[in-house]
């Protein structure tokens, strides 16, 4: 049996005396697109950083591809895009991509880079531009491109659609669907519930420090009697009790 891509057991995290994650249990099978949703400040970014061992957890267990998240080797197949993506401003875009590929131990291929930029409609001439000359949307595309080019089997993306216009979101999703055909696992957070409905095989709602729903998007809409994910979400966060599909 293949190990799950991500497994969190009884995860707890607080900042000083303020709890952020409380008894969180979550499993992301390999090959699944999994969306994590929640309000601003609900702990989504903290959970992602905990999974990647970028912040220390108070208690619990996290495993990546069957290995403890504290082992560097557990992240050998992970590409990560943070919620506030800010590449080194002094680098040219080409040098940034080259640097990221070296970090991922992936081969530099001009053809693959051009193909990825074309798919995201990021002009090839951008490669010669300094990072600090890019708009927010172009900078986000650069970060997305570096993840798509990484060759990793597990993508962990924190609000990857941030700063993207509707066309760019569409193009990015097309690239994700293509990766899915090749068995890539995607774990991502998003505020855009329509994107979650379109992309995700499974989803979880993080609310008031806990996972209050974990299941398919269809089951979520059924559980909270919503015609849309947005409608179901509003009913979920205002519900007195949680629903958790096992």
The string of pLDDT tens digits covering residues 14-57 is 998 899 999 999 999 999 999 999 998 889 999 999 999 999 99
- Spell out the domains of the chain, with CATH numbers in brackets: 1-77+184-246 (3.40.50.300)
* pLDDT value at residue 190: 93
Mean pLDDT of the chain: 93
Look at residue 236 and tell me whether its pLDDT is greater than 60.
yes
In whole angstroms, give the CA distance from residue 31 to residue 178.
12
* pLDDT value at residue 243: 52
Mean pLDDT, residues 104-115 taken together: 93
Look at residue 1 and tell me whether its pLDDT is greater than 90.
no
pTM of the model: 0.94
* pLDDT value at residue 239: 79
Q: CA dist 185 to 112, 194, 242, Å?
A: 20, 20, 27
Look at residue 209 and tell me whether its pLDDT is greater than 70.
yes
């Amino acid at each position: 049996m293949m190990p799950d891509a991500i497994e969190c057991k009884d995860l707890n995290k607080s900042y000083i005396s303020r709890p952020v994650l409380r008894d969180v249990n979550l499993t992301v099978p390999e090959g699944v697109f999994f969306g994590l949703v929640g309000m601003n400040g609900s702990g989504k970014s903290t959970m992602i950083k905990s999974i990647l061992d970028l912040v220390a957890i108070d208690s619990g267990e996290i495993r990546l591809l069957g290995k403890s998240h504290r082992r560097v080797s557990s992240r050998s197949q992970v590409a990560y895009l943070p919620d506030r993506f800010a590449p080194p401003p002094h680098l040219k875009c080409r040098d940034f991509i080259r640097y990221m590929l070296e970090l991922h131990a992936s081969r530099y291929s001009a053809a693959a880079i051009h193909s990825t930029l074309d798919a995201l409609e990021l002009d090839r001439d951008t490669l010669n531009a300094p990072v600090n000359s890019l708009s927010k949307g172009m900078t986000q595309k650069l970060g997305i491109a570096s993840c798509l080019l990484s060759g990793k089997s597990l993508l962990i993306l924190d609000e990857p659609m941030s700063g993207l216009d509707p066309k760019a979101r569409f193009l990015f999703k097309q690239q994700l669907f293509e990766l899915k055909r090749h068995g890539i696992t995607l774990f991502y957070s998003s505020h855009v519930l329509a994107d979650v409905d379109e992309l995700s095989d499974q989803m979880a709602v993080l609310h008031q420090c806990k996972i209050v729903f974990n299941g398919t998007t269809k089951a979520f809409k059924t559980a909270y009697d919503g015609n849309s994910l947005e409608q179901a979400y509003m009913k979920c966060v205002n519900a007195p009790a949680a629903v958790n599909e096992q």
